[in-house]
Amino acid sequence: MSVYVDGKTKFTYEEYRLFPDDGRRHEIIDGEHYVSPSPSTDHQKASRHIQFALYEQIEQTGRGQVYDAPMDLELAPTDVVQPDLIVVMNESSDIVLRSRLRGVPDLVVEILSPSTAEIDRNLKRSLYEHHGVAEYWVVDVEDRAIHRYRLTDGSYGAAETFRDSISFRDAVIDLTAVWRRI
């Protein structure tokens, strides 16, 4: 059921569940509805190769789960997003429900598209920081780089940029192999 906050009606997960399954990505951030088109083939290739590397090193070793879009991540009733990739380590597995992920994952990955770049770089970075997501990656396929934000004392600070390889915990992703396949 929508909520009324500061003179404004905000969508919640209950309304989100009623959005159409129309091939577009529907999300709510601070109760506002955002819609974006399907991603490009380069976007999907990058997502697949990064996911596979994380899957091999995290999921196949029994340390956690790797999810790809579309997967609902409910950070709060008025914050429901579909990141490109989500990593939930075993110690955080209580956020995994049959219908969605509800709570804060260990890693969120967003891959920039022309229609979502501004949202991913700013609005979602603030959203993930606010909810305490420990690590947030912004993948820039055009620039062949990943910008990593790590939560320190409740904020992300400046991003670190990686072009050749990047690690999460002890999983290492060879980015040169990812870029070569795009």
* 83 three-class SS: coil
Question: Domain of 158: which CATH number?
Answer: 3.90.1570.10
Q: In this structure, is residue 17 part of a structural domain?
A: no
pTM (two decimals): 0.93
Q: In this structure, is residue 139 part of a structural domain?
A: yes
Q: In this structure, is residue 78 part of a structural domain?
A: yes
Using alpha carbons, select from 87, 90, 100 the residue that is nearest to residue 28: 100
Per-residue confidence (pLDDT) for residue 4, from 0 to 100: 62
Encode the chain (182 residues) as per-residue pLDDT tens digits.
Answer: 666 666 678 999 999 999 988 888 899 999 999 998 888 999 999 999 999 999 999 999 999 999 999 999 999 999 999 999 999 999 999 999 999 999 999 999 999 998 889 999 999 999 999 999 999 999 999 999 999 999 999 999 999 999 999 999 999 999 999 999 99
Q: Into how many domains does the chain fold? A: 1
Rounded Cα distance, 56 and 54, in Å:
6
Rounded Cα distance, 131 and 120, in Å:
15
Cis peptide before 39 (omega within 30 of 0): no
Per-residue confidence (pLDDT) for residue 5, from 0 to 100: 63
